[in-house]
Amino acid sequence: AKEPVRVLVTGAAGQIGYALVPMIARGVMLGADQPVILHMLDIPPAAEALNGVKMELVDAAFPLLKGVVATTDAVEACTGVNVAVMVGGFPRKEGMERKDVMSKNVSIYKAQASALEKHAAANCKVLVVANPANTNALILKEFAPSIPDKNISCLTRLDHNRALGQISERLNVQVSDVKNVIIWGNHSSSQYPDVNHATVKTPAGEKPVRELVANDEWLNGEFITTVQQRGAAIIKARKLSSALSAASSACDHIRDWVLGTPEGTWVSMGVYSDGSYNVPAGLIYSFPVTCKNGEWCIVQGLPIDEFSRKKMDATAEELSEEKALAYSCLS
Ligand code: NDP
């Protein structure tokens, strides 16, 4: 039998956490033959709710779930973890300035970086979900210098999946037949969902999305804004932010990272820029990646047209500003 993998979820008593932990315990994240031990962290005001989640995990009698650690102590939570999904963060409340939210999150991610660096298992893979996700991941990276850059990422897979979903609805095809969209940049409304390299599996072979949709106005306009603003549309409809889709895409992100992407398919991940596609090095930026043997690799050599270039630069610009703001909160 396989050794259990320890998976940390921070902010585990929150709504994404509540959707995510049963998926992990069911094998959605790491596979149906991979036992797991869940480490759940939340803050003291949420301790009682967190304990309630732990009780439900016991009651669900998940065969793969070999143990549950539920704690408000970051060191206990981080000890020995192989995968860390960082969902906990300070939400932007009405009337709060961007700088105030940034300042709260910078201090949270600085502290959690140290706990992970000192206590996580070697080669722990980190996924940051809490917003501002790219910049929180960058802070975590900077304050955990012994964790390799390649082990720290942020979630843009939800945006990626939303783009697949929009194409599938528009063309009335199975979402599983659509592939290779790209989310470039920030997990914010400045992100650029790019369909220039996306294809659909049809009875007549693989066809470019641009050819099948045959409506550049929609692809360059409404499609992009729908994906960018989908989060707000869900809040409006549900009176709560997206949770099941965020949790599901976090599982997709880790699963593909650990188990690999299918041949000929790439996914979007927020990763540390090495300057590929002239994206400034030193930002956490969403790129198209393939994964193999537990490592991601940025897809190289895709042609970028002028329309895309502008949008990729604009979202990079926003990330540089966020980075500067985060650093100003540190000093
Ligand atoms: P959620 O579980 O709904 O969201 C958690 C985080 O994920 C938020 O930062 C949210 O950003 C972010 N997020 C990223 N992508 C998405 C997406 N597509 N849809 C929705 N959210 C997304 O928040 P809750 O308030 O229910 O839970 C947060 C938990 O974190 C609570 O249990 C709380 O106690 C804990 N917490 C931990 C802290 C710490 O570790 N020190 C500090 C504060 C809270 P956004 O805010 O932009 O929606």
pLDDT in tens, 88-113: 999 877 778 878 889 999 999 999 99
Q: What is the end-to-end Cα distance of the chain in Å, rounded?
A: 49
Q: What are phi and psi of 284, to 5 degrees?
A: -90, 115
Q: pLDDT at position 97, please?
A: 80
Q: pLDDT at position 93, please?
A: 79
Which residue is closest in CA terms to ligand 1's atom 13? 130
Provide the residue count of the chain: 331
Cβ proximity of 51 and 71 under 8 Å:
no
Q: How many CB atoms lie within 10 A of CB 124?
A: 22
User: What residues form DSSP beta bridges with 194?
Assistant: 182
- Pocket of ligand 1 contains residue 261 by CB under 6 Å: no
- What is the C-alpha separation between 316 and 276, in angstroms, rounded? 12
Weakly modelled stretches of the chain, pLDDT under 70: none
Q: pLDDT at position 95, please?
A: 77
Catalytic option among 160, 187, 197, 253: 187
pTM, to two decimals: 0.97
Q: pLDDT at position 110, please?
A: 94
Atom of ligand 1 nearest to the CA of 245: 18
Q: Which token pair is 275?
A: 């300057």
Cβ proximity of 71 and 77 under 8 Å:
yes
Q: pLDDT at position 328, please?
A: 93
Contacts of 206 (CB under 8 A, 6+ apart): 199, 200
Which residues are documented as binding site for NAD(+)? 11-17, 42, 105, 129-131
Cβ proximity of 315 and 278 under 8 Å:
no
- Pocket of ligand 1 contains residue 46 by CB under 6 Å: yes
Cβ proximity of 117 and 157 under 8 Å:
no
The helix (H) or strand (E) run that includes residue 289 is strand 284-292
3-state SS assignment for residue 173: coil
User: What residues form DSSP beta bridges with 153?
Assistant: 127
